[in-house]
Amino acid sequence: MLEIADLVKSYGAERRSRSVRGKAPATLQVRAIDGVSLHVEPGELFTLLGPSGCGKSTTLRSIAGLENPDSGSITVAGRTLFAAGNGRKKTNVSVNRRQLGMVFQSYAIWPHMSVFDNVAFPLTVEPRRKRPGKAEIRSRVERVLETMELRPYAERKATQLSGGQQQRLALARAIITEPSLLLLDEPLSNLDAKLRESLRYELKRLQRELGITSIYVTHDQVEALALSTNIAVMRNGAIEQLGKPREIYEAPRSRFVAEFIGTSNFIGGVVKSRTGEQYAVETPDGELRLTSSAVVPTGTKAMVSIRPEAVVMSTQPRSDAPNIWTGNVVARSYLGEAVDHIVAVGKHEIRVRCPADTSIEPGTEVHLELKADQLALVPMD
């Protein structure tokens, strides 16, 4: 459906030199996108995830035609929207001819128009030869408003809607033209946490019902895990890791991904032995055994990533399982659905997530089981 190959986009930034006076400032080229390649299947909700400045929005804007890349190519449903040329004629289809839908962070709805007219607007400005008749426009708008549960508000001014309703209105306007690809640039970031959570599932339901291939940009890792078919984690203009949400969370390939997606404890050590995917890692506080698909040679320094929920804590000593460490609780924090404990083990402090009915006082000696099948092995950066 969507193919991006070796996409590069650079921006020039002035860099002044204190040592040379009277000369024009030097220009430093900064790569906002650095060789991004990805493939998106029809019907997917594909997420570009990463911190501010990682290149995710620039990638989305390049697909939309709002940015002009330096090199690479972008193809949607077999139609080339951009190709740098490389000695041949350059292709760069204009924004209005790309036939894509886009929902911006600010919604960008027309405040002076009714809900109905906002949704109908993209159809009414189509070229005359492609523009639907008035009866078809009304039928299509009413159908989309029904899907978005906005039909009772059709004659209301757009500014009289709640934040969640305005978000659905922006989505309705984006899909009214039945685009081949829907682009969503952090559409939920302006909403409060409770509304964002409820609309997250509504958006996922609508995307699946409508079957529209979608590219979603966000810096919210919980949002990405909840919504996505596949996730590309971006860093410094490049894709750090690409995979399904569970794979990204449970088997991060770098410390950056493990830190950015959720919460992790990190224990450094040396790979002592390896048999297939079974590893033994020697650490300053004892040996850790784990299962990992990562390829890390024996004798190599590596980092073990341990999610807080991958640790079982007990006040009773155990010796019938691997990876049993003993430490002392130094702090605890009630989170509503869980209680986090910080346990000092040697020079490390390990965060442990327990059910809400488990709360152990600081100073108590505890025994930790670090589950071998839930640990991840990542190379040292």
How many separate domains does the chain show? 2
Q: Which of 250, 273, 293 is the last residue of a domain?
A: 250
Residues 81 and 183 in one domain: yes
Residues 228 and 292 in one domain: no
Separation of alpha carbons 250 and 379, rounded Å? 15
At 80 the pLDDT is 94
As a whole number, mean pLDDT of residues 358-363 equals: 96
Residues 64 and 160 in one domain: yes
Q: Is the pLDDT of residue 62 over 90?
A: yes
Q: Is the pLDDT of residue 181 over 80?
A: yes
pLDDT tens profile 111-170: 889 999 999 999 998 888 888 999 999 999 999 998 888 999 999 998 899 888 888 898
For residue 296, which phi and psi values (nearest 5 degrees)? Answer: -130, 115
Assigned domain for 255 exists? no
196 vs 271, which has greater pLDDT?
A: 271
Assigned domain for 195 exists? yes
For residue 196, which phi and psi values (nearest 5 degrees)? Answer: -60, -40
Q: Is the pLDDT of residue 24 over 70?
A: no
Residues 27 and 103 in one domain: yes
Q: Which of 217, 250, 283 is the last residue of a domain?
A: 250
Q: Tell me the chain's radius of gyration from C-alpha atoms.
A: 26
Residues 51 and 168 in one domain: yes
Residues 237 and 272 in one domain: no
At 89 the pLDDT is 79
Q: What is the pTM of this model?
A: 0.87
As a whole number, mean pLDDT of residues 6-35 equals: 74
Residues 268 and 245 in one domain: no
198 vs 271, which has greater pLDDT?
A: 271
Residues 213 and 330 in one domain: no
- Percent of the chain past pLDDT 90, that is, above it, reads 67
At 25 the pLDDT is 63
Confidence of residue 188 (pLDDT cuts 50, 70, 90): confident
Spell out the residues 6+ positions from residue 55 whose beta carbon is closer than 8 angstroms to its own: 9, 32, 33, 34, 36, 234, 236, 237, 238
Spell out the residues 6+ positions from residue 360 whose beta carbon is closer than 8 angstroms to its own: 313, 315, 329, 332, 341, 354, 366
At 210 the pLDDT is 83
At 208 the pLDDT is 87
At 27 the pLDDT is 64
Confidence of residue 66 (pLDDT cuts 50, 70, 90): very high
CATH number at residue 300: 2.40.50.100
Residues 182 and 280 in one domain: no
Confidence of residue 16 (pLDDT cuts 50, 70, 90): low
Assigned domain for 257 exists? no
The string over 331-343, giving b where at least 16 C-beta atoms fall within 10 Å of a residue's C-beta and e elsewhere, is ebeeeeebbebbb
Confidence of residue 187 (pLDDT cuts 50, 70, 90): confident
Residues 184 and 282 in one domain: no
* Helix H or strand E segment including 118: helix 115-124
Residue type present at position 179: P
Residues 165 and 29 in one domain: yes
Assigned domain for 258 exists? no
At 159 the pLDDT is 87
Assigned domain for 229 exists? yes
DSSP, res 22? S
Residues 306 and 216 in one domain: no
195 vs 58, which has greater pLDDT?
A: 58
Q: Is the pLDDT of residue 19 over 60?
A: no
Assigned domain for 208 exists? yes
CATH number at residue 79: 3.40.50.300
29 vs 92, which has greater pLDDT?
A: 92
Q: Which of 223, 250, 277 is the last residue of a domain?
A: 250
* Helix H or strand E segment including 47: strand 45-49
Give the pairing of strands 324-334 and 338-345. antiparallel
Assigned domain for 104 exists? yes
At 333 the pLDDT is 96
The domain in which residue 370 lies consists of 263-379
Assigned domain for 365 exists? yes
